[in-house]
Amino acid sequence: MWRLSLCFDYAVDVTKPLRRDAERNRQRILQAAQEVFAARGVDVMLDDIAHHAGLGVGTVYRRFPTREDLVEALFDSRLEVIVGWAAEAMEDPDPWAGLNRFAERAIAAMADDRGLRDIAFSRAYGRNRVAEVRERLAPVVEALVVRCQQAGVVRPDVGGADLGLIQFMLAALLEYTEPVEPGLWRRYLTLMLDGLRSGTTPLPGAMPDVEAMDRIAENWRPPRRPPADH
């Protein structure tokens, strides 16, 4: 991993730097993509990003030949933040409070950013840099849950993947509630966390594992949202 990173930096250094105006435009594109992705998800037309950046389509295609290039350039850091929150939650002296706070923050971030939602679960985008970060998330979440169970504040028959699925469900909900009833997701997060803590009915079926979450996310494709006609 280190090695890879070094190789990459080296390559960057060797490549002739962009002309000043070109570099400025590159930043503009990233900024525009960030905003448009947040508002309409990653499956917008690249034309829209170009337009939002005040540049021609050609420029976007020259700098980022595929949508994937944009995604990889933008979302690894966004996801990294979430991983950071999970690690932070592990530090909380109260395991239950930590878990709550993590779940809350993660969903809140997705509520504000359709692109993040798309990328957090997609296996179709972010196959390299982003995927690496994504893979680091699952173990921390698992640990978060286990710690709560050891403290006796989460039922023993759930696992990290269950929390993943819960986030997946809430992300799906956001798609429809957020535009008309912002914040409504908090009710259902609360409800599910309550179930996680004090539920007693034995959960049917087998506890899902990480591969199950993978198989499920495999089917997920970022939807194309229509442009907001204002």
Partner DNA sequence: GAGAAGTGGAGGACTGCCCTCAACTAATCG
Partner DNA sequence: CGATTAGTTGAGGGCAGTCCTCCACTTCTC
Interface contacts to its own copies, rule CB under 8 A? 158, 162, 165-166, 168-170, 172-173, 175-177, 179-181, 183-184, 186-188, 190-196, 198-201, 203-205, 208, 212, 215-220, 223
Q: Does 229 interact with DNA (rule: CB under 7 A)?
A: no
Handedness of CA 49, 227, 36, 103 (dihedral sign): negative
- State which of positions 44-63 bind DNA (CB under 7 A): 45-47, 54-59, 61-63
Q: Does 97 interact with DNA (rule: CB under 7 A)?
A: no
CB 113 within 8 A of CB 37: yes
Look-up: residue for tokens 């592990």? 90
96 binds, among DNA, its own copies, none (CB under 5 to 8 A by kind): none
CB 138 within 8 A of CB 160: yes
How many residues interact with DNA (rule CB under 7 A)?
Answer: 23
Q: Which two tokens stand for residue 54?
A: 């005040």
Q: What's the min distance (Å) between Cβ of 41 and its own copies?
A: 14
CB 140 within 8 A of CB 87: yes
Look-up: residue for tokens 């997701």? 185
Q: Does 215 interact with DNA (rule: CB under 7 A)?
A: no
Q: Does 31 interact with DNA (rule: CB under 7 A)?
A: no
